[in-house]
Chain A
Amino acid sequence: MRKTLFIALCAFAARVSLAAPAPATVTIKDYRFAPAIVKIATGSTVTWTNKDADVHTVISATGLFVSGALDTDDKFSYTFTKPGTYVIACSLHPQMSETIVVEGGGLVPAAGIEPATP
């Protein structure tokens, strides 16, 4: 009995540590988001930094958030609280896009709210 509980706790701990929110960074350079695919755990915050001479924005394709204009070296952060796949774009340059995969990590998405899909 004790042993079973211990294993269960270990498994729970492992699961939590795997899915623990951790900050991620994205660089905008040469009209690209790098990396183009970012995998994070639910609750993680992504920070984008514009390293181009041109202005960019960071927006979710579904309209979840809008960064506003980011000039050179400006930053924008967003915390993803729901699992799902999010398509990120720059509203000034439609050729730019990236995908943020927010993994569940055992957290249950709030009822009635659909995660963004591409």
Chain B
Amino acid sequence: MDDEKLHTRRTALKCLGFGGAGTLFALAGGVLTPIDLAMAASDDALKRAALKPLFVQISDSHVGFSKDANPDVIATLNRGIDMVNALPHQPNLILHTGDITHLSRASEFDTAQQLLSRLRATELHTVPGEHDTTDPGAATYFGRFGQASSNKGYYSFDHAGVHFIALVNVLEFKPGGLGTLGHEQLAWAISDLKARSSSTPIVVFAHMPLWTVYEPWGWGTGDAPALIAELRRFGSVTVLNGHIHQIVQKVEGNITFHTARSTAFPQPLAGEGAGPSPLKVPADQLPAMLGITRVSVVKHPRSFALNDSTLGQIS
């Protein structure tokens, strides 16, 4: 159907029209792919490319966690916030991709909101993680962050010529399965996309990966492929998530999938151990395993450069 139409020769040529931007994106992607290199040189690289920071992604702050893997998640979140506030070019927009809290408690949300209010950026957008929604009806999360989406959790908005789509894949739980968007949300997202031209840069963000990173641990979203199919016609798409507390990236055509680090604690590589238990590392190694993601515009507004910074980058 529509999907097939997208792959006509005309569309292919149209996509090639983005070749310059696409290549630029790939080059900018070079900054983000070898993450460790980005650590050392990110600020210089940003300056050289004269990138305009579009937004910063913060994820998996787990306020309320206090076990060995990080006894002070407030300090590390604060460090992340300080990093953002110290950026030479302040982004106006911050995305938090969920697991703001550890146990969905009101006191944890209060602390998190207090900390996040220190951000100099004026706009904060959030999606819930499964740790934010363990109470019946996810009432605590929606009581604080539900307004933007009329308590649905999913919504879209425009910022600096970029169309952002916030999705929730942690509410329709299926045992043994992956995350789920659900029919209603999926239909909404597809119709939201249909109203945009293919040249509109798109950023989609959710808590759990929208691609299958590791099925046995549920690191994926079962009904996301229908959405991804709709995204293929766009010239520049960035799909962001948290949940797995480590960076994994994939590029598929014009779509870049990127998972962010946590500001709280690292998790094991997929399949290592009985489950994704908080990973205890020596204290001096912890900051290098936590971090934030900066997204800048390359050749505004056609494509983006993603730049991951660890908390180890500032002293």
* A residues whose Cβ falls under 8 Å from a Cβ of B: 30-32, 52-55, 57, 59, 61, 66, 68-69, 71-72, 87, 89, 91-97
Contact = CB atoms under 8 A, between A and B. Distances in A.
**Most A CB within 10 A of own CB, among B131, B174, B275:** B275
Interface string B48-86: 000000000000000000011000000000000000000
26 contacts: A30-B274, A31-B277, A53-B277, A54-B276, A55-B103, A59-B173, A66-B136, A68-B134, A68-B135, A69-B102, A69-B105, A69-B131, A72-B67, A87-B175, A89-B176, A92-B130, A93-B217, A93-B275, A94-B175, A94-B176, A94-B178, A94-B217, A95-B217, A95-B218, A96-B175, A97-B175
B104 interface: yes
Contacts, number: 71
Report whether over half of chain A's contact residues are helix, strand or loop; otherwise say mixed: loop
B175 A69 contact: no
B278 interface: yes
A31 B273 CA distance: 10
A38 B181 CA distance: 32
Interface of B: 67-68, 102-105, 130-131, 133-136, 173-178, 216-218, 274-278
B104 A89 contact: no
B277 A91 contact: no
A13 B177 CA distance: 44
Contacts of A55: 102-103, 131, 134
Contact of A91 (B102, B105, B130): B130
Contacts of B175: 61, 87, 89, 94, 96-97
Nearest to B129: A92
B78 to A, nearest CB: 22
A71 B103 contact: yes
A68 B131 CA distance: 10
A87 B217 CA distance: 18
B277 A69 contact: no
Contacts of A87: 175
Contacts of B277: 31, 52-54
Nearest to A67: B134
A59 to B, nearest CB: 7
A103 B266 CA distance: 43
A61 B173 CA distance: 8
A87 B174 CA distance: 11
B168 to A, nearest CB: 14
B149 to A, nearest CB: 20
Given A31-B274, A55-B102, A94 B177 contact: yes
